[in-house]
Structure 1
Amino acid sequence: MKAAHLYLSLLVFSSASVLVNTFEPITTTVVLGIGAALGRTIYNYFHESCDSKWIAFNATGLKVDLESKLFGQHIGSRIILKALTGFMSNKNPKKPLVLSLHGHTGTGKNFVSKLIADNLYTEGMDSSFVHVFTSELHFPHSSKLETYKSQLQQWIKGNVTNCERSMFIFDEMDKMQPGLIDSIKPYLDYYDKLDGISYRKGIFIFLSNAGGESITETALDFWKAGRAREEIELNDLETLLSLSVFNNKNSGLWHTSLIDKNLVDFFVPFLPLEYRHVVQCAMAAMKAKGLHPDKNVADQVAKDVNYFPKSERVFSVKGCKTIENKLHYYT
């Protein structure tokens, strides 16, 4: 790709030079202008830019991915598809889309973020318009809280200025210093513009293990009552989840004005995964590795996973997080 880019750039330069030598001086400026415009067109073809060639939401693709690659998350799949479809079809949203994804490790929160990016940006997670912040990596020191606030504000402002369709993912929100996320509240609120910049077409995704206990308790209650997990609805969890996160001192959303001012559009619960879902993960991982999905192998992998509670062994302790690595042992 880089070689082709260089070749075409040299071709444009050479062509422009020939044209300049051929035409009278009075037309030189025009010819150079044409050459420059052509050069910009070629550059934009190969270099990611903030336009429909590089940013285009594929609702059908996201639907297919959620149905075929994400397992055991009927609530999350439905909410995320509807939220993204509605937001991206709105040419004049009143505020950015803000999603807060909650659940234990390995249930699919990071994976869903990737699926969203893959179906929105041509470059997926490698897009220069996708920005990932990890609490322990980017904001490790409590003594630097005020510095982090300023840096985070400038980072978001600069990137939205560069592209209004930017996506920001905040991982490990349960480990983020309380108060830090409030520094970006103005960018998530109902403002047309702030200092001449509109943030209304941005997407903000918070990922957190906080609230996982509440989600698990609800899922376990349904299981004990002999009810299918697919009967669990958002209204069974959303209020409980938002209160749990808001009042959890170990949550980056503890007493945050984002919740208090209703700026989080959806609290999305990710349910703990059962044995059958781990089998599905193993089958999908084999397929992704170019292997023929083998149910016997998938069962072996699933049996090697730890489950809780100890007496019932209903839910996978780590969800599907270690499945890919375990496959190396069985295949």
Structure 2
Amino acid sequence: MKWLGLVVCCVAPVVWSDSALVDFDLGLVYPAVLGGMECEQVEKYEARELGYTLYYKRGEDFGLELSVFDLGRPSIETGHAVDGIAELMQIVEHDHERQQKVGAISNIRKRGATVVPKDGAVQFANTVYGFLQPREVDGGSKNVPRIESVYVTAAHHRFFKVRFTFDVANGKDARLMAEQFVEQLAAAIKGGRTEEELLLAACDVLVRDPASYAGRSAAQRISEKVLTMGNLNIYPHLFAWPDGFDKPAAADLLVMAYMSGMLKVVIPRQLASGGEAEGFAAMLAAYESLRKRDQIEALPKLDAWLKAPDKKALFQELLYQPVEE
């Protein structure tokens, strides 16, 4: 990589797609928005057999948990009716029993089971449960009828479990959302992404949620890639934060976000260098993501730069400003 003070560069358009997590081991990319619900958190469990879970929400009315794990099994067949699927449903029902005991839900009952979609390379065993959940309404407590729709399947020697919850009153919207996310998940689980596609998706993940497990794992892959690319141009005066003991803990993630913006330009075009303006814009977008989650202290210069309506024009302007020693 080249650390520079000034250069006139070409600016190319970059399309930032929405990805929540890239699993490089399985070659899978999970969308940031699933059935109209946005991914708010990705949790990686310390116990390897428990895998990870992505949490999606749309307001307070709809929630979805997507868990991917192997339960310690060395090999898992592919399909919605293979060995282990029944065990997954027992785990769900044991969780229902636990929730009833502590008063979180009541009157749980199974409403039906089917397979969705009716055909295709990836199908899910789908079981629907109804229950009552206490909720504060107008200063009092009310039992609200709710639905949990559970989808399970197996692929890539992993189990995939989805728990989709919503109010019975929102059933019409929920059916449309379910149709959409089943289609999205089937496509995601099918996989087939190239290494280049996985890396480009990781660039999106890093900018979207830098300090999360998803963002940090993406940053690691991006770091490995840029170490093999000696012609990328770096402008250290754009990394406008304290160094040494005062350096923000998340500063390295901002640097990797800058790299991700460049990779989004150079990789698809097979360039040796370029994308500096896009890197600058990606760094600011990552900083904004961190600030929204209160994961980095305020950095005055970056706060000022965020207010610029045209980040790429600002980048060009900053290149011609004297560099502070």
TM-score (norm 1): 0.27
Which is helix-richer, 1 or 2? 1
Higher strand share: 2
Q: Give TM-score scaled by structure 2 length.
A: 0.27
Larger radius of gyration: 1
